[in-house]
Amino acid sequence: MSADPEFDLLHPQPLLIVISGPSGAGKDTVIQRMKARGLPFHFVVTATTRPRRAGEVHGRDYFFVSKEEFARMIENNELIEYAIVYN
């Protein structure tokens, strides 16, 4: 179930599409075009072990977790996908 009951009634078996790619691949462009066309979608906040940058908000931009917590999330199959980048 989604957070939007009307969406659930209109789309009882919605199609799940994951937009994923490295930085600069065009993910934001795809999302902007989906918004412009009024397509229903939900943005998922991802987890990272990197330090928070100025202006970033935990839970909005990323879930900032320790390397130990990230490893636990992997071990418990809590992530759809993950990558180890820059060690």
In tens, the pLDDT along 5-34 reads: 666 666 667 778 888 888 889 988 998 999
H or E, element range at 30: helix 27-36
What is the pTM assigned to this prediction? 0.65
Residue at 9: amino acid letter: L
Question: How sure is the predictor about 41, in pLDDT bands with cuts at 50, 70 and 90?
Answer: confident
> How do strand 47-48 and strand 63-64 relate by DSSP bridges?
parallel
Q: Which domains does the chain have, with CATH numbers?
A: 1-40 (no CATH), 45-87 (3.30.63.10)
Average of per-residue pLDDT values in the chain = 87
Q: Is the pLDDT of residue 1 over 60?
A: no
